[in-house]
Chain A
Amino acid sequence: MDVATEASITAAQDVNSSLYLGLHNAQIYQDGLSFSGSERDKVWINRGPGKGFADLSDLSGADDPNDGRAVVAADFDDDGDVDLFVHNIQRERHKLFRNDAVEPGAPESGFLKIKLRGTQLAREAIGATVIVTGPHGPTAQVLSRGAGFVSSQSDELVFGLGPLKQADVEVVWPGGRRESFGALPTGSRSLLVEGSGQGEPYEAQPRPLPDPLPPGLLLEEGEILPSLTLVDANGNTATLDPVKLADGDTLFLNLWASYCAPCVAEIPDLQALEDAGEVNVVGVSVDAPASRERASQVLAKRGGSYPSFYLGAGGTGLEPLVDLERLPIPTTLVITPEGRIDTILRGPLER
C-alpha cells in the first residue's frame, strides 16, 4: 500500500523537498493513504551460531499491523520469559503480547533472571555487560536504558538456559572490573551486587496475565446482550431482541457466514436443536451485505428455518457485540432467558 501515497508525491522540480514533505505531510494520511503501510512487526528466531535466523513473524501472534514504534521486552508476568509491550501509532495503540512460545522452567526451557547493583560507580550499573555461559556458549547482554527507537528497557535481564541446570555468570561492570558470580541455578532470580561475588536471590512475584476474550467479541460471559438492529433476509430492518427470541428458553445465537464451510456444515445440527424444542436458535450471518441473498439461500438449502439476521447497509449492526474484523467463526453464544451471555462456544458445536 506504500505506493498509494506516492500518488500524492507527484513529480516535482524539487524531488528532495517534495518527497520529504510528502512523507511528513499529515494531510495525505488524513485522506486515508498509506506509506509503507500494512507492514507487520517482525519476529526472527535465532537458530544458533552460524545457522541464521528463522522468520516466524506470521505465526508469532506479535506481528501487529498497526505501525509499531516503541517496544519494551520484559517479563511482565514474572513467569520466566520475555513478553512484549508495543506502542503503535494508531488504532489499538497499546499492545501487550504474552510470551507463550515455551513453558518457562520446563526441562528444555530454563532461565536466569538477573538484576544488578553497582557499588563503585552508579548504583544502577547502566552499561554493565552480563555474560552467561549457556548451552550454546557465552551470551552477553548489556543493561541498557534507552535503545531501539524511542524505547527503554527494564532493569531485569532474562537469559535462556535451554536444558542446563545451572550456568556460570560474569559481569563486566562500568569501569571494566570483571567479576564472576559462579554458577547460578536454572529458574533463579538473582541480584548481583558489585564486589560481592555471589548472587543474592530475590523473590519471584508471579502475576499471571489472563487469557483474553475470544478475539473479536466485545462482551464477556455474564454480560447482558443488548438488542441489535440488523436486517432480515429481504433487507428490511429487524430487531434482534434476545429476551423475546429466547421466549423463556435458552437461546443459541450462532454467528456464521456462507463462505465458512464449518458454519454451513452445522446448519442441520442447529436446526435439529431448534426442532428438539429445548432451545431456540437464531442465526446471524456476518456475510457482506452484497452476499446477503446468497447467505439466505445457503441457509435454506441446508434446511435452516430458524430466525436469521443479516448485517445492515455498510456491514453494520453488530458493533455492540463483535469486531467483525477479528471474529473467528462459527461462534455460538448461549444466552439465558434473561438475555445474559452464559457461555461462548468457539468453533463448530460438536467440538
Chain B
Amino acid sequence: MGLHPSLLRLAPVLGFCLLALLSGCSDSEGLHDEELVENEATRPLPDSLSVSTPDSPLIHMEIVEDFSEEVANEMLGFSDKLRRRDFGAAAEWLAPDFVGHALSGLTPDSLESLPLESTRTEFLPASAPIVGRAGFLAALESYVGPWERVEYVQWKVKGAEFQTGKPRWGRVKYRVTVLGNAEDGSPRSLVAWGYGKQLFRDGKWTLQQFELTSLVEQQRAKRLFTDVSASAGIAHAGIRFGQPGNKSFAFNGASAGDVNGDGLVDLFVPSRPRNFLYMGKTEGGFSEEAADRGVALPAGGTGAVFFDWDDDGDADLALADVGWIERDGTPSGNPLRLYINDGTGLFTERGEEFGFDALCNGYSLTVLDDTLDGALDVFVSNYGRIAAEPNNSWTDASNGMSNILYRNEGGTRFQDKTADAGMTDSRWSYAAAAADHDLDGDQDVYVANDYSRNIFWENQGDGTFQDAAESLGLSDLGNGMGTAWGDLDNNGMLDLYVANMTSTAGSRILGRLAGQSEGDTQDLLKMAGGNSIFLNSPTETDTESSFERLPSSEGGVSASWAWSPALADLNLDGNLDVFCTNGFVTGDTAADT
C-alpha cells in the first residue's frame, strides 16, 4: 500500500522541522529516526480506525483510577513538548507503530458565527487523514508551526477503561486543547475529543492509536481582554501553592470600594504575608497603600466587604478568615475584623468593640438590610473546621460551623441574631448572595454549600427567614462554591447563578465515591452536574416569582471546578454575560527537558 495518500497530501505543507526529523538530525533521545522513516514508508495504514473497547475491562475502580493517573501524568510531558513545538522529542510518547487520525487536514463541516465576530469551525472527524507517528506530528506541526506563540497544550484524560491481564492497555477518552496566537497574532483555539489506545510497554504508557471523534477550531481577530496587571501597577507574583508561605486553604478574596471618596474604584486584597490596598489613581492604574492606610496587617483573610456600617458616608471594611488553631491545637475560628474608615480612607480595626465576637470559619461575607431598618447587616458563610473534622457526608454534611447573621443595631453594634432569624444551619457554606428575588421590598439570601444542597433563605418580612429552595425551584444539590444574582433573560427579574464543582473533577472524584460512601450514588453523580442557572420566571397565571433551571444544553455552565461567578454585560449588547473563576490547584508543569 505504501505511503498513505493522506500523508502525501500533507507533504507539501510539512514544516522543515519534520524534514529535519526525517533526515535524522534530531538528537532526541529514544527516537530512532531511520526505523521511523522505514515504518512510515513501508507499513500499510488502515482505511478506517476505531479504538476498541476492552472486552474484559478492569472493574476495580481504584486500579482504574491508578492507571488513569499514570496515563495522565505520562501525557503531561507530551503536552509540554508539543507546547514547545519540540516535535522530535514529542515522538517519544507515540508508539513506533502508532496509527491515528491527524489533527489537521480535515474537511470543515460547519462554520458558525459566535458573538463578537468570533467563529467556530467544526470539522468532519471522518475526513481526518489516517497517519503514522511522523504523519501525526507533521500534521500538528503544519497547524501550529507558523503560530507566533503556542500558549497551552493539554491532553486531558476524561475517562478510561482498561483491559484485564497483559499486555496492559486501555481505551482513554481525551480532550486535547491547543491555545495560542496564530501567525498574525490573533487568538486561536483547537479542541479535539477522541479515544486513545494507550499501551503499557517498557514501563511506560505510550499512545498507540488515536481515534478522533470531534474537532473544533475557534478564532477571532483579537482577544476580548488584555492583561494590564503590570502596567496598572498591580502585578504581584506569588509563590506556588503548597510551598511554605502559601499553603493555606483560607483562599483570599477581593473587595471593591471607594476608600477615600474620590469617585475612583479602589481594591482591598487580603493576602499573606501582608494585605494589599490598591488605590485608584486619577491618571490611571493603582498605587498600593495598605500599610499607610492601616490595613496591611494582620495579614490574610478570605471574604472582604466594603460597606458603610455606620451610615456616615464613608466605606468601612469587614473581613473574614478561616482556619485558626489555638496554641494547644484546638481548632476554633476567627472573629471577623471591622475596619472603621475615618472619612479620609485611614482605617482602624475595631471589630471586638462593635460586636464581632463570634468565632467564625467564614469564607464569604454578604451585606444586606434584613429588617429594613436602614442599618446594614452582615451574613457570614461559615465552612467546616478544615483539618480538624471532615465532612460527615458527601451529600448532606451537617457538621460545619453554623452561618451567622450579624444584625447591625443602628450603627452602634453588631449582634449575633442567627437563631432569632431562624438561620442556624451547620452546612459547609462557601458563599451567599442577597437580593430581592420577588421585588417585594425585602432581601433574601441564597447560600452555596459544599457537600450538601443549597439553602434559599426567603425573608418573611418579620425578622425571620425560611428555606424556600425547594418550593421556589432553587434546590441545587452540588458542591456549591459561589453564587450571584443578575437578570440573564431580560424579563426584569433577577436570576440566580450557582458555581459548582463539575464534570471531570466532580465525576471522577464522586464516581470514585459512589458505592463506597453512605451517600446515594445518584445524588453523588448529580453533584457533578456542573454550574446552575435558575431563571426567575413568573408565568401569566402565576405571577409570583419562581425559578426554572436553564437546561445545560443552553451553555454557560460547564466549567470544572468553578468558584466565583460575576454577571456583567461584557460586550454592552444589553444581555448580562458570565465570568467565572475556575480550577482548584495547578501543580508544577511537567519537568523540562
Q: Which of A139, A142, A176 contacts B490 (CB 8 A)?
A: A139
Query: Whose C-beta in chain B lies nearest to the C-beta of A38?
Result: B586
Assess whether B366 is in contact with A145, with CB atoms less than 8 Å apart. yes
Query: Whose C-beta in chain A lies nearest to the C-beta of B115?
Result: A45
Given contacts A101-B116, A126-B367, A291-B27, contact A89 B434 (CB under 8 A): no
A159 within 8 Å of B by Cβ?
A: yes
Q: Which of A20, A172, A205 contacts B263 (CB 8 A)?
A: A205
A-B contact pairs, 8 of them (CB 8 A): A55-B558, A59-B218, A71-B580, A145-B307, A150-B431, A158-B568, A210-B228, A260-B85
Q: How far is it, in angstroms, between the C-alpha of A149 and the C-alpha of B251 when the chains are bound?
A: 10
Given contacts A140-B493, A205-B282, contact A96 B588 (CB under 8 A): no
Assess whether B435 is in contact with A142, with CB atoms less than 8 Å apart. yes
Chain A residues within 8 Å of B390, by CB = 16-17, 20-21
Q: Which of A47, A65, A150, A202 contacts B583 (CB 8 A)?
A: A65
A131 within 8 Å of B by Cβ?
A: yes
Given contacts A69-B581, A158-B569, 8 further A-B contacts (CB under 8 A): A3-B73, A45-B115, A56-B224, A90-B246, A108-B573, A142-B435, A150-B304, A290-B89
Assess whether B583 is in contact with A68, with CB atoms less than 8 Å apart. yes
Assess whether B555 is in contact with A53, with CB atoms less than 8 Å apart. yes
Q: Mark B446-480, 1 if CB is under 8 A from A, else 0.
A: 00100000000000000000000000000000000
Chain B residues within 8 Å of A104, by CB = 572
**B228-277 interface (Cβ within 8 A of A):** 228-232, 234-244, 246-249, 251-258, 263-265, 267, 269, 271, 276
Q: How far is it, in angstroms, between the C-alpha of A109 and the C-alpha of B567 when the chains are bound?
A: 18
A277 within 8 Å of B by Cβ?
A: no
B1 within 8 Å of A by Cβ?
A: no
Assess whether A207 is in contact with B303, with CB atoms less than 8 Å apart. no
Chain A residues within 8 Å of B504, by CB = 2, 36
Chain B nearest CB, measured from A172 CB (Å): 5
Assess whether A139 is in contact with B574, with CB atoms less than 8 Å apart. yes
B198 within 8 Å of A by Cβ?
A: no
Q: Which of A47, A101, A153 contacts B224 (CB 8 A)?
A: A101
Q: Mark B149-184, 1 if CB is under 8 A from A, else 0.
A: 101101011000000000000000000010101010
Residue of B149, B443, B587 most packed against chain A (CB within 10 A): B587
- From B14-22, B343-351, B417-425, the one touching the partner chain is B14-22
Assess whether B373 is in contact with A172, with CB atoms less than 8 Å apart. no
Chain B nearest CB, measured from A98 CB (Å): 5
Q: How far is it, in angstroms, between the C-alpha of A47 and the C-alpha of B353 when the chains are bound?
A: 50
B359 within 8 Å of A by Cβ?
A: no
Q: How far is it, in angstroms, between the C-alpha of A76 and the C-alpha of B570 when the chains are bound?
A: 13
B548 within 8 Å of A by Cβ?
A: no
Q: Which of A30, A131, A142, A150 contacts B252 (CB 8 A)?
A: A150
Q: How far is it, in angstroms, between the C-alpha of A45 and the C-alpha of B564 when the chains are bound?
A: 16
Q: How far is it, in angstroms, between the C-alpha of A5 and the C-alpha of B283 when the chains are bound?
A: 46
Q: Mark A23-49, 1 if CB is under 8 A from B, else 0.
A: 110111111111111111111111111
Chain B nearest CB, measured from A56 CB (Å): 6
Q: Which of A53, A93, A134, A288 contacts B236 (CB 8 A)?
A: A93
Q: How far is it, in angstroms, between the C-alpha of A112 and the C-alpha of B231 when the chains are bound?
A: 27
Chain B residues within 8 Å of A85, by CB = 234, 254, 256, 267
Q: Mark B467-510, 1 if CB is under 8 A from A, else 0.
A: 00000000000000111111111111110000101001100110
Assess whether A73 is in contact with B568, with CB atoms less than 8 Å apart. yes
Q: Which of A67, A146, A288 contacts B86 (CB 8 A)?
A: A288
**A47-80 interface (Cβ within 8 A of B):** 47-50, 52-56, 58-63, 65-77, 80
B374 within 8 Å of A by Cβ?
A: yes
B375 within 8 Å of A by Cβ?
A: yes
Q: How far is it, in angstroms, between the C-alpha of A99 and the C-alpha of B578 when the chains are bound?
A: 14
Q: How far is it, in angstroms, between the C-alpha of A327 and the C-alpha of B150 when the chains are bound?
A: 9
Chain B nearest CB, measured from A156 CB (Å): 7
Given contacts A122-B376, A259-B87, A288-B84, contact A42 B285 (CB under 8 A): no
Report, as a range, how many residues of chain B touch the other chain. Answer: 35 or more
- From A225-233, A240-248, A292-300, A337-345, the one touching the partner chain is A292-300
Q: How far is it, in angstroms, between the C-alpha of A61 and the C-alpha of B561 when the chains are bound?
A: 19
Assess whether A212 is in contact with B230, with CB atoms less than 8 Å apart. yes
Residue of A86, A126, A134, A205 most packed against chain B (CB within 10 A): A126
B415 within 8 Å of A by Cβ?
A: no
B118 within 8 Å of A by Cβ?
A: yes
A349 within 8 Å of B by Cβ?
A: no
A7 within 8 Å of B by Cβ?
A: yes
Assess whether B265 is in contact with A76, with CB atoms less than 8 Å apart. yes
A262 within 8 Å of B by Cβ?
A: yes
Chain A residues within 8 Å of B88, by CB = 291, 294
Assess whether A58 is in contact with B572, with CB atoms less than 8 Å apart. no
Q: How far is it, in angstroms, between the C-alpha of A161 and the C-alpha of B127 when the chains are bound?
A: 44
Q: How far is it, in angstroms, between the C-alpha of A126 and the C-alpha of B149 when the chains are bound?
A: 45
B95 within 8 Å of A by Cβ?
A: no
Query: Whose C-beta in chain B lies nearest to the C-beta of A90?
Result: B241
Q: How far is it, in angstroms, between the C-alpha of A56 and the C-alpha of B264 when the chains are bound?
A: 30
Chain B residues within 8 Å of A174, by CB = 369, 372, 436, 441-443
A198 within 8 Å of B by Cβ?
A: no
Given contacts A15-B517, A28-B242, contact A138 B487 (CB under 8 A): yes
A329 within 8 Å of B by Cβ?
A: yes
Assess whether B508 is in contact with A288, with CB atoms less than 8 Å apart. no
B138 within 8 Å of A by Cβ?
A: no
Q: How far is it, in angstroms, between the C-alpha of A10 and the C-alpha of B308 when the chains are bound?
A: 49
Query: Whose C-beta in chain B lies nearest to the C-beta of A81?
Result: B572
A6 within 8 Å of B by Cβ?
A: yes
Assess whether B578 is in contact with A32, with CB atoms less than 8 Å apart. no
Q: Which of A40, A164, A294 contacts B26 (CB 8 A)?
A: A294
A254 within 8 Å of B by Cβ?
A: no
Chain B residues within 8 Å of A38, by CB = 154, 156, 583, 586
Given contacts A43-B570, A122-B308, A205-B263, contact A259 B86 (CB under 8 A): yes
Chain A residues within 8 Å of B592, by CB = 288, 314-315
Chain B residues within 8 Å of A153, by CB = 256, 566
Assess whether A146 is in contact with B432, with CB atoms less than 8 Å apart. yes
Q: Which of B72, B249, B440, B564 contacts A148 (CB 8 A)?
A: B564
B226 within 8 Å of A by Cβ?
A: yes
Chain B residues within 8 Å of A258, by CB = 17, 20
Question: Top 8 A-B pairs ranked by shortest CB distance?
Answer: A176-B441, A29-B242, A150-B253, A61-B223, A68-B581, A37-B586, A149-B482, A53-B556
Q: How far is it, in angstroms, between the C-alpha of A335 and the C-alpha of B25 when the chains are bound?
A: 33
Assess whether B577 is in contact with A35, with CB atoms less than 8 Å apart. no
Chain A residues within 8 Å of B568, by CB = 73, 82, 158
**A197-219 interface (Cβ within 8 A of B):** 202-203, 205, 207-213, 215
Q: Mark A96-123, 1 if CB is under 8 A from B, else 0.
A: 1111111010001111000000101111
Chain B residues within 8 Å of A50, by CB = 489
Chain A residues within 8 Å of B579, by CB = 41-44, 62, 71, 73, 84
